[in-house]
Amino acid sequence: MSDRSEQLYYSRQRILPEVSEAGQARLKAARVLVIGAGGLGCPALSYLAAAGVGILGICDGDRVALSNLHRQTLYAFADVGEYKVLAAAQRLAAANPFIVLQTHRENLGAANARELVCSYDLVLDCTDNFSSKFLIHDACFFEKVPLIQASVYQFEGQLQVYIYQPGEACLRCLWSIQPTPDCVGSCAEAGVLGVIPGLLGTWQAAEALKLLLDLPGQQHNETLLLNLLSNDLLRLRQSPDPDCPLCGQQPQIHDLLAAAPAVRVPGELRPDQLDSLSPQQSRYRWIDIRSAAERAESSDWIQHTEHIPLEDQDALRALAPERDCLLFCASGQRSAQLLQSLRAAGLGHVYALAGGLQALDNR
């Protein structure tokens, strides 16, 4: 591919005085990591690749599922079952041959998060759970790599930019400890309109380009809050907290906290705490609490486990005490919530798989 083609590829953005030749060269020299190639990650990756970010990293351990396609627009129907990082890299490389794509299929945990983020200039958090969001945030804080974080819920989204400089607030200035999974729903549980992660992921890409090109109006010390149903767009100002456990005057967090998936609820078990990862050999009675639709898309071995969907509360509350039960769902959120309520109802023989099936896939 000729230099001339590359020049033409970016010509419409390079004629912007704010971009110009120098800005385009800056983008080409930039290394950006997108963690999570899902609803937020797909549009973020598309626009960063097309804008000419020279080294674009994609980190995700999941495979494409049919229920992803309504919002994860990088993937084709035929990609179902393929690793997201591979399908995404293929699609992006075809769209822009002038950039380098780096894929990271590994599980992101306390052991590797800092090492991963420190080889990039900027990180976009496009993940879908609190454990990952806090882990990535803290890793970026310690490595002083700017982070653009977004989260969505049904018809709404939030976006924050953290640059980890003196006078800047961090995530833990607001949420000093990680919220428990029971105080919010996941996309699988609460539902999400595909355009919401589409909008927020695109917005993350826009903030990334502003930061890389040093454009005016960069977000910091604020939460951008979008409600599609009311068309409200709020910018909530945040001040650094001198008592913040991470960036405050007397920090209490000095390195990444315990390995993900974190066990947050009594009775949650990490994969390494189980006697066997094979339900047939395990002393636990493995119970899939996901919906029938989610289950239908799963691997063969899961079809051999028992299925009691979350809605069937009567059956779940009547689980026989003769054998310890291990509840599992996709990410560990629903199973942890159910575990709490069953334990509160006196079912001491019930356990839940921390991190859900994702934690098994990532092993």
Partner 1 sequence: MPEITIKYFAALREQAGCSEERRQTAVASAAELYRELQAEYGLSLDIQHLKVAINNQYCPLTQPLQNGDTVVFIPPVAGG
> Residue numbers of the site for partner 1 (CB under 8 A)?
36, 38-41, 126-130, 133, 150-154, 156-158, 174-175, 179-180, 183-187, 190, 192, 197, 223, 225, 227, 229-230, 232, 234-239
Rounded to the nearest whole angstrom, what is the least distance from the CB of residue 120 to partner 1 in the complex? 19
Strand extents, DSSP E, 105-231:
122-125, 147-153, 156-162, 222-227
41-51 vs 84-95: helix crossing angle, rounded to 10: 30
225's tokens? 């809050």
Give me the least distance between CB of 285 and partner 1, in Å please.
29
Give the residue with the Cβ less far from partner 1, 238 or 282.
238
For the CB of residue 21, give the shortest distance to partner 1 in the complex, in Å: 35
Q: Tell me whether residue 20 or residue 227 sits nearer to partner 1 (CB atom).
A: 227
Class of residue 167 by CB neighbours under 10 A (exposed 0-12, middle 13-18, buried 19+): exposed
CB of 157: closest distance to partner 1 in angstroms?
8
For the chain, helix, strand, coil in percent to 5 are 35, 20, 45
The DSSP annotation for 36-81 comes to --STTHHHHHHHHHHHT-SEEEEE--PBP-GGGTTT-TT--GGGTT
| Element (DSSP H or E) covering residue 269 | strand 268-269
Nearer to partner 1, 150 or 289 (CB): 150
Instruction: Round to whole Å and give the CA distance between 239 and 236.
Output: 10
CB-nearer residue toward partner 1: 52 or 157: 157
Minimum CB distance to partner 1, residue 232 (Å): 7
Given the complex with partner 1, which of 175 and 301 has the nearer CB atom?
A: 175
Minimum distance of partner 1 from residue 225's CB (angstroms) = 7
Nearer to partner 1 by Cβ, of 326 and 338: the residue is: 338
Tokens of 284: 């636990």
